[in-house]
């Protein structure tokens, strides 16, 4: 079963340079959160800083050994799984370690302005354009903890607060944070990247805004990102914001989706919102003993009548930018509207965030769950196809309402058995066939969607752009070369489960 | 691939390995949040709960290295962060129990070996102890009554951890209870609660101890069982009912809960100012394992003169003191303790905790040679601090 590739010389070289690595029992590195696998990697390296990344890339070019960078968190599409001939490079420690090489999650933030000059955050004004200069192994949770005392936070908060900035950039993630700032790549002003030449490693600083945006979403093809300048924004105080919960329910999913799509169009045109989220409520979305069910304001949202689909939308934004929202909601008599406190909004957001991955005694089986609907008017048609595909299955669609469209996530949930996981995976593929159609949705440069299917599913212009970037940053073709191989498909790790 | 695919799904797996059943009861989604929140992972990048779980799902549970099995602090940071609440500490506990006899490792760390022996002695029938020697004059205890003070191994600790004066905690608890008109039972029949035995894979020892303790506690007629130890609390409150059945009519309280209640009800007045700036360490067994975060903070708020400053990593995100159930204490432990104590020292000059073992582990670190210089920092037990405020 296992393909073992000896990397003895490489390993010796890593040891000589003091770069942490593992060549022991590596079955636990066979997959990322996608449950996709290309086999068990033969070696895993854990560089701690740019110097070690340079040494690693030098070695890779010299040995002709592929490197597959991995951040931390979900990587739900297989882009960070490594085939046995490659070395998996865990980037989680890069720029986040103390002098001993231990990861420290508390750190003092270095903030710079748009020119890259250091700024005293305590003296900054809310309208200042500021960036946190951070190692690729840092996360928004850590960054927000460091920035909180100054009342600032990372501008674009990806779905996973514990995902590393380098990974957010490589996947061009965006999440439930601040749609006003776009995807993660749009919030980055400058990156340092260890790229390759045919002779060895090259440390590059990319400060051109357009180039930064082009390489955002490179999925590890261009090199090892080591440092980023990440846009930060002032934290809104509770009294400055409007938080609202909108609800609609119907047995007719297409009509429900069409109504919501129309409402979303109006909201996108008339409101400046910092968070726009939606979720379908079902019996399994929170545990029976979850306190939210007993909350006098929020509890009723979880009482769903049989035979209907209930959808909840959550919007939050600065009060002056949200003044049109109550009026828009009133235009849709099917939609109930309620303003809630920020803590209540946060409680609903916790449900929303967990909704893709939380169900008692189940795993979710991701892989192709991001569908971007550019025209919300198509929302109803997409939902019909989704619910048809997941008939009889557990889990529910959730997603984001961004100004440029609606992103829908759905991960089939499975019991932790081989058969159940395989069934969920098959459903995933059916769902993909049903929904990922040019006339309905695109699977674009977002965090969950492409991975191993990067070159199968990306629009041709993006494929072309990635090939050009690859040739420019990695002429030695050492970074994730398997992603360019159209014939190579990942296996599904569930087939190997012995549970 | 083809070999694996031909293996029937039912072969091996959770039924053959009950530890695996612990993992599969809540499915892991491989998001890696556990690993990212794991304190051990910060100092040992090869240690990864996510990795171990996938390896286990792939049929390699028993190939988990002894290092991985024992390095886990069972602090529960992983489970607290997990979106599906995979009970990784319970899995580790079950694996330690399952593989105990096959492992090369014979005992936990140095002091853990001592506690291991102590637990085994206490599990013997016919044991005779004098558990009141440490109490001293002026404090009132009883042979029977409504409130039992379960002291835990505290009276024995000072023989080893001489720099800690753990008995001070017990004396402070009795002073506080006496001040509120409570004369607690301190019983010679008390045995070790079995915490370390349970977490280090010796369920039989734990159950023997639990039965012995349950017998005298149930026979005492007491209505409340109070302890100053977070580990004893987690055993008495959560694990004993699973092992020996529910406590009928007996309420288990941590001392912080009792103090908070007495203050709130006006039965205890903390009036003497204690002019200190303090921060608070949430013990794993009281916090993440038992979800008691508020009572200790209420006690701190009730002590006049105390300036309380929270650390950055608190409550569910609190960082472990570095040692869990004495199963591990090595160089990496010291780096973790340095990290946590640096954080504490950046906030206050006194670190308060509500677990004698957190106090011992931190004090042990400070008593030795810290990895890096630390500002002056004292480790103080919450009960002792509260007793200082008695008029």
Cβ-contact B28, B57 below 8 angstroms:
yes
B111: left (phi > 0), else alpha (psi -120 to 50), else beta? alpha
Please state, in angstroms and rounded to a whole number, the distance separating the CA atoms of residues A214 and A444.
Answer: 13
Please state, in angstroms and rounded to a whole number, the distance separating the CA atoms of residues A405 and A445.
Answer: 13
10-residue mean pLDDT series, chain A (499 residues): 69 95 90 84 95 97 94 70 92 94 94 97 95 96 95 87 90 76 91 97 97 92 97 91 97 96 96 92 84 95 93 95 97 98 93 70 70 90 90 83 87 80 83 84 59 72 90 96 80 72
The dihedral over CA atoms of A59, A61, A63, A69, expressed in degrees to the nearest 10, equals 70
Cβ-contact B312, B296 below 8 angstroms:
no
Residue by residue, pLDDT tens for chain B (391 residues) are 233 333 333 334 455 678 888 888 878 888 888 999 999 999 999 999 999 998 998 888 888 888 889 999 999 999 998 877 899 999 999 999 998 888 776 666 777 778 888 899 999 998 999 999 999 889 999 999 999 999 999 888 888 888 889 999 999 999 999 999 999 999 999 999 999 999 999 999 999 999 999 999 999 999 999 999 999 999 999 999 999 999 999 999 999 999 999 999 999 999 999 999 999 999 999 999 999 999 999 999 999 999 999 999 999 999 999 999 888 888 889 999 999 999 999 999 999 999 999 999 999 999 888 889 999 999 999 999 999 999 7
Please state, in angstroms and rounded to a whole number, the distance separating the CA atoms of residues B226 and B232.
Answer: 10
User: pLDDT at position B185, please?
Assistant: 98
User: pLDDT at position A77, please?
Assistant: 63
Edge-to-edge strand order for the sheet containing B378-381?
B307-308, B277-281, B350-353, B378-381
Rounded to two decimals, the pTM is 0.90
User: pLDDT at position A368, please?
Assistant: 62
Please state, in angstroms and rounded to a whole number, the distance separating the CA atoms of residues A393 and A413.
Answer: 7
What ipTM was assigned to the predicted interfaces of this complex?
0.88
B45: nearest CB among A20, A74, A354: A20
Restricting to A residues 126-145, those with a Cβ less than 8 Å away from any Cβ of B are 139, 145
**Which residues, 6+ apart, have CB-to-CB distance to B277 below 8 Å?**
B306, B307, B309, B347, B348, B349, B350
Please state, in angstroms and rounded to a whole number, the distance separating the CA atoms of residues A376 and A256.
Answer: 12
Please state, in angstroms and rounded to a whole number, the distance separating the CA atoms of residues B286 and A37.
Answer: 40
Eight-state DSSP code of residue A97? B
State the helix-helix crossing angle for A418-435 and A379-389, rounded to 10 degrees: 150
pLDDT digits (tens, 9 = 90+) for A216-225: 988 899 999 9
- Tokens 């002091």 belong to which residue? B111
Please state, in angstroms and rounded to a whole number, the distance separating the CA atoms of residues B130 and A130.
Answer: 66
Burial class (CB in 10 A: 0-12, 13-18, 19+), B159: exposed
- Cβ atoms < 10 Å from Cβ of B245: 10
Backbone angles phi and psi of B88, in degrees to 5:
-60, -45
Backbone angles phi and psi of A459, in degrees to 5:
-60, 150
> How distant is the Cα of B309 from the closest Cα of chain A, in angstroms?
13
Taking CA atoms, A239 is separated from A58, A297, A318, A340, B219, in Å, by 53, 19, 9, 12, 57
Contact B25 A90 (CB under 8 A): no
A102: nearest CB among B14, B29, B42: B42
Cβ-contact A93, A103 below 8 angstroms:
yes
Cβ-contact A81, A31 below 8 angstroms:
yes
Contact A72 B20 (CB under 8 A): no
Please state, in angstroms and rounded to a whole number, the distance separating the CA atoms of residues A242 and A326.
Answer: 10
- Taking the Cβ of residue A209 and every Cβ of chain B, the question of whether any pair is shorter than 8 Å is answered with no
Please state, in angstroms and rounded to a whole number, the distance separating the CA atoms of residues B236 and B150.
Answer: 10
Q: Which neighbouring-strand residues pair with A315?
A: A244, A276
**Which residues, 6+ apart, have CB-to-CB distance to A280 below 8 Å?**
A309, A310, A311, A312, A396, A397, A398
Domains in chain B, start-ordered, CATH in brackets? 2-102 (1.10.1060.10), 110-263 (3.40.50), 268-388 (3.40.50)
What are the boundaries of each domain within chain A? 8-97+473-496, 110-234, 238-435
**Which residues, 6+ apart, have CB-to-CB distance to B10 below 8 Å?**
none
Taking CA atoms, B205 is separated from A469, B70, B273, in Å, by 63, 19, 45
Please state, in angstroms and rounded to a whole number, the distance separating the CA atoms of residues B68 and A24.
Answer: 12
User: pLDDT at position B259, please?
Assistant: 98
State the helix-helix crossing angle for B167-179 and B255-264, rounded to 10 degrees: 20
Q: Which neighbouring-strand residues pair with A205?
A: A192
User: pLDDT at position B314, please?
Assistant: 97
Backbone angles phi and psi of B274, in degrees to 5:
-120, 95
Please state, in angstroms and rounded to a whole number, the distance separating the CA atoms of residues A228 and A151.
Answer: 21
Contact B24 A32 (CB under 8 A): no
Backbone angles phi and psi of B314, in degrees to 5:
-135, 170
Nearest-CA neighbor of B287 among B243, B257, B245, B265? B257
User: What CATH architecture applies to the domain A110-234?
Assistant: 2-Layer Sandwich (3.30)
Q: What 3-state class would DSSP assign to A228?
A: strand
Please state, in angstroms and rounded to a whole number, the distance separating the CA atoms of residues A170 and A222.
Answer: 9
Nearest-CA neighbor of A369 among A348, A393, A346, A345? A393
CATH of A238-435, one of 3.40.50.720, 1.10.540.10, 3.40.462.10, 3.40.250.10: 3.40.462.10
Mutate to test the interface with A, among B41, B43, B84, B332 (most CBs of A within 10 A): B84
- Cβ atoms < 10 Å from Cβ of A450: 25
User: pLDDT at position B307, please?
Assistant: 98
Please state, in angstroms and rounded to a whole number, the distance separating the CA atoms of residues A176 and B340.
Answer: 31
Percent of chain A as helix, strand, coil, to the nearest 5? 35, 25, 40
Please state, in angstroms and rounded to a whole number, the distance separating the CA atoms of residues A480 and B1.
Answer: 22
Q: What 3-state class would DSSP assign to A6?
A: coil
Q: Which residue of B has its CA nearest to A499?
A: B13
Please state, in angstroms and rounded to a whole number, the distance separating the CA atoms of residues B233 and B249.
Answer: 17
Please state, in angstroms and rounded to a whole number, the distance separating the CA atoms of residues B96 and B102.
Answer: 10
Pairing relationship of beta strands A371-373 and A405-409 according to DSSP bridges: antiparallel
Mutate to test the interface with B, among A24, A97, A356, A499 (most CBs of B within 10 A): A499
Mutate to test the interface with A, among B3, B27, B82 (most CBs of A within 10 A): B27
Mutate to test the interface with A, among B45, B50, B332, B371 (most CBs of A within 10 A): B45
pLDDT digits (tens, 9 = 90+) for B168-191: 999 999 999 999 999 999 999 999
Pairing relationship of beta strands A491-492 and A36-37 according to DSSP bridges: antiparallel
Q: What 3-state class would DSSP assign to A90?
A: strand
Residues of B in contact with A366 (CB under 8 A): 29
Q: What is the DSSP string of B325-372?
A: TTS--SHHHHHHHHHHHHHHHTT-SEEEES-HHHHHHHHHHHHS--SS
A498: nearest CB among B51, B59, B312: B59
Residues of A in contact with B64 (CB under 8 A): 25
User: pLDDT at position B72, please?
Assistant: 94
Q: Which residue of B has its CA nearest to A362?
A: B27
Distance of CA A102 to the CA centre of its chain: 26
User: pLDDT at position B12, please?
Assistant: 42
Cβ-contact A413, A286 below 8 angstroms:
no
Edge-to-edge strand order for the sheet containing A336-340?
A336-340, A241-250, A309-318, A275-281, A398-402, A405-409, A371-373
Taking the alpha carbons of A397, A398, A403, A404 in that order, is the dihedral positive or negative?
A: negative
Please state, in angstroms and rounded to a whole number, the distance separating the CA atoms of residues A147 and A157.
Answer: 13
For domain A8-97+473-496, give the CATH number: 3.30.43.10
């Amino acid at each position: 079963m296992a393909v073992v590739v000896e990397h003895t010389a490489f390993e010796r070289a890593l040891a000589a340079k003091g770069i942490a690595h593992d060549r022991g029992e590596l079955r636990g590195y066979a997959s990322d959160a996608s449950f996709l696998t290309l086999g068990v990697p033969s070696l895993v390296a854990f560089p701690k800083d740019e110097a070690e990344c340079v040494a690693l890339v030098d070695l890779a070019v010299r040995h002709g050994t592929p490197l597959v960078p991995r951040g931390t968190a979900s990587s739900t599409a297989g882009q960070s799984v490594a085939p046995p001939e490659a070395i998996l490079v865990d980037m989680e420690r890069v720029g986040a370690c103390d002098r001993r090489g231990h990861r420290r999650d508390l750190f003092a933030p270095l903030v710079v302005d748009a020119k890259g000059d250091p700024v005293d955050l305590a003296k900054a004004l809310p309208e200042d354009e500021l960036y946190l200069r951070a190692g690729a192994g840092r996360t928004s949770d850590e960054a927000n903890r460091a920035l909180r005392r100054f009342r600032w936070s990372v501008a674009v908060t990806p779905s996973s607060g514990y995902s590393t900035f380098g990974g957010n950039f490589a996947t061009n993630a965006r999440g439930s944070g601040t749609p006003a700032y776009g995807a993660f790549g749009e919030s980055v002003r400058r990156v340092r990247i260890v790229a390759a030449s045919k002779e060895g490693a090259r440390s590059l600083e990319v400060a051109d805004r357009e180039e930064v945006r082009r390489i955002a979403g490179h999925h590890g093809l261009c090199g090892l990102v080591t440092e980023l300048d990440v846009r930060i924004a002032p934290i809104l105080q509770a009294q400055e914001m409007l938080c609202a919960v909108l609800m609609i329910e119907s047995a007719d999913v297409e009509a429900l989706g069409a109504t919501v799509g129309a409402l979303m169009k109006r909201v996108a045109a008339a409101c400046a919102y910092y968070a726009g989220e939606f979720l379908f409520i079902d019996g399994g979305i929170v545990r029976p003993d979850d306190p939210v069910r007993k909350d006098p304001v929020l509890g009723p949202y979880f009482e769903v009548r049989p035979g209907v689909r209930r959808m909840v939308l959550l919007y939050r934004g600065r009060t002056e930018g949200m003044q049109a929202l109550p009026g828009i909601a009133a235009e849709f008599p099917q939609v109930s509207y309620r303003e809630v406190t920020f803590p209540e909004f946060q409680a609903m957001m916790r449900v929303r965030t967990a909704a893709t991955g939380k169900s008692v005694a189940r795993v979710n089986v991701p892989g192709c769950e991001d569908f971007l609907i550019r025209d919300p008017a198509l929302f109803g048609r997409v939902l019909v196809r989704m619910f048809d595909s997941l008939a009889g299955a557990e889990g529910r669609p959730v997603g984001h309402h961004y100004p440029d469209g609606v992103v829908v996530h759905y991960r089939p949930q499975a019991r932790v058995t081989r058969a159940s996981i395989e069934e969920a995976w098959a459903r995933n593929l059916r769902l993909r066939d049903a929904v990922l159609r040019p006339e309905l949705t695109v699977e674009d440069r977002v965090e969950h969607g492409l991975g191993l299917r990067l070159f199968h599913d990306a629009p041709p212009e993006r494929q072309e752009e990635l090939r050009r970037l690859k040739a420019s940053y990695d002429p030695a073709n050492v970074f994730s070369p398997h992603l360019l191989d159209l014939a190579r498909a990942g296996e599904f790790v569930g087939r190997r489960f012995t549970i | 691939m083809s070999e694996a695919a031909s293996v029937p799904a039912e072969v091996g797996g959770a039924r053959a390995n009950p530890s695996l059943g612990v993992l599969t009861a809540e499915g892991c989604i491989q998001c890696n949040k556990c690993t990212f929140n794991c304190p051990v992972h910060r100092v040992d990048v090869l240690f990864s709960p996510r990795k171990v779980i996938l390896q286990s799902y792939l049929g390699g549970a028993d190939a988990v290295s002894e290092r991985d099995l024992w390095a886990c602090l069972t602090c529960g940071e992983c489970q607290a962060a997990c979106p599906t609440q995979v009970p990784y500490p319970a899995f580790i506990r079950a694996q330690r129990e399952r593989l105990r006899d096959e492992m090369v490792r014979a005992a936990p760390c140095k002091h853990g070996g001592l506690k291991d022996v102590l637990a085994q002695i206490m599990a013997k029938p016919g044991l005779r102890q004098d558990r009141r020697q440490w109490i001293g004059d002026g404090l009132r205890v009883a042979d029977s009554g409504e409130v039992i003070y379960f002291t835990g191994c505290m009276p024995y600790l000072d023989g080893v951890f001489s720099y800690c004066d753990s008995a001070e905690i017990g004396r402070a608890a009795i002073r506080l209870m006496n001040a509120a008109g409570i004369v607690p039972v301190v019983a010679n029949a008390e045995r070790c609660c079995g915490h370390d035995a349970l977490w280090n894979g010796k369920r039989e020892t734990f159950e023997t101890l639990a039965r012995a303790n349950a017998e005298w506690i149930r026979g005492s007629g007491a209505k409340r069982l109070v302890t100053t130890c977070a580990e004893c609390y987690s055993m008495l409150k959560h694990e004993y009912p699973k092992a020996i059945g529910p406590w009928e009519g007996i309420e288990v309280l941590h001392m912080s809960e009792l103090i908070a209640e007495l203050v709130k009800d006006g039965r205890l007045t903390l009036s003497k100012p204690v002019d200190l700036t303090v921060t608070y360490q949430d013990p794993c067994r009281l916090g993440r394992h038992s979800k008691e975060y508020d009572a200790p903070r209420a006690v701190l708020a009730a002590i006049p003169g105390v300036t309380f400053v929270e650390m950055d990593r608190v409550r569910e995100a609190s960082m472990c003191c570095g040692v869990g159930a004495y199963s591990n204490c090595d160089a990496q432990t010291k780096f973790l303790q340095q990290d946590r104590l640096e954080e504490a020292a950046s906030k206050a000059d006194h670190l308060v905790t509500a677990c004698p073992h957190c106090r011992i582990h931190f004090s042990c670190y400070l008593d030795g040679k810290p990895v890096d210089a630390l500002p002056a920092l004292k480790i103080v037990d919450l009960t002792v601090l509260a007793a200082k405020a008695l008029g």
